Amino acid sequence: MDQPKFGQQAGHRVLLPEKSAETPLEILYQDDFLIAINKPSGWFVHRSLLDPKVTTIVLQHLRDQVGAYLYPVHRLDRPTSGVLCFAFDQASARSLGEQFMAHSVQKEYLALVRGYVEQTGVIDSPLSFIRDKIADRDRGEIEDQEAVTFYQPLAQCEIELSTGKYPTSRYSLLSLSPTTGRKHQLRRHMNHFSHPIVGDTTYGDLRHNRLFREHYDVDRLLLHAYRVTLDHPKSGQPVTITAPLDKLWITLLTRLGWDPSTIGNRSSDNS
């Protein structure tokens, strides 16, 4: 597809409020054993001692919403949105947790990154272990961990805004599929690949983060857990769960000249 330049749209400001703690969480899948929701960006999966006063906690709100005890089986970073799964009983939690630990769950993320990525590839680069300030403070030396991420370009664009050296800025929309599950793996791998994810305040490029904040009112990590395929904890049959993009994503992709309704199709057609 032709790579258009977009300049006129950049001055238009669109304010999109984050989902509040009073808004029901979007349920993507539910039966007697498994439930999956579309996690909003900025929400914790469960309570954290790092921010004990926060009220946007998925586990507590979802328990109240469905009126049942739930077991977390994996996690997403606070700024990441998308598919998040829980179990209704211990046996299901054990089955699902083992799948995530064994890296047998197929995971697909969407990410907007700096620069042009034009070919499919793989990043096979071990990552150092990131210690939890509380849970891991007494652990001894830990070796680097295997970490593998497959990436596939979906679209590229060039906008008539500068972050310093060049008069324009280039970006790519990627499908990312990690086969391991290291802490901050996708964010760290894309930084190592010199294509940091837009909105990443830890591993990203602050100049590009500022551009999207000032011209597009995007002040969050542009990483979305789009699709998960796992074996059902009871039947053993494969279950695929897809999390639609939220309004911020849809508005941004449209302003960058892409059709959000085709993004998932492009990814699945090449998976």
What is the pLDDT averaged over residues 246-263?
Answer: 94
Is 51 in the active site? no
The Cα–Cα gap between 267 and 108 comes to: 9
Catalytic residue among 31, 32, 77, 124: 77
Q: What is the pLDDT of residue 134?
A: 46
Task: Provide the pLDDT confidence category of residue 10 given band limits of 50, 70 and 90.
Answer: very low
**Averaged over 55-82, what is the pLDDT?**
96
| Confidence tier at 85 by pLDDT (50, 70, 90) | very high
> 10 and 164 in contact (C-beta within 8 Å)?
no
If one compares 117 and 143, the residue with the highest pLDDT of the two is 117
Token pair of 222 as six digits? 């542009």
pLDDT at 137 over 80: no
CB 89 within 8 A of CB 200: no
Domain edges within the chain: 19-132+144-269
The mean per-residue pLDDT over the stretch 62-75 comes to 97
pLDDT of residue 265: 65
Q: Is residue 9's pLDDT more than 60? A: no
Residue 10 makes CB contacts below 8 A (sequence gap 6+) with 159, 160, 161, 215, 216, 255
Q: What is the pLDDT of residue 48?
A: 72
CA atoms within 13 A on the CB side of 255: 21
Q: Which residues pair with 109 in a beta bridge?
A: 176, 225
Per-residue pLDDT, 47: 81
**pLDDT > 90: what percent of the chain?**
77
Q: What average pLDDT score do residues 85-114 get? A: 98
Q: Which residues contact 240 (CB under 8 A, 6 or more apart)?
A: 227, 228, 229
- The architecture that CATH gives domain 19-132+144-269 is 2-Layer Sandwich (3.30)
Is the pLDDT at 6 greater than 50, yes or no?
no
The whole-number pLDDT of residue 161 equals 97
Q: What is the pLDDT of residue 200?
A: 98
**Euclidean distance between CA atoms 41 and 56, whole angstroms:** 10
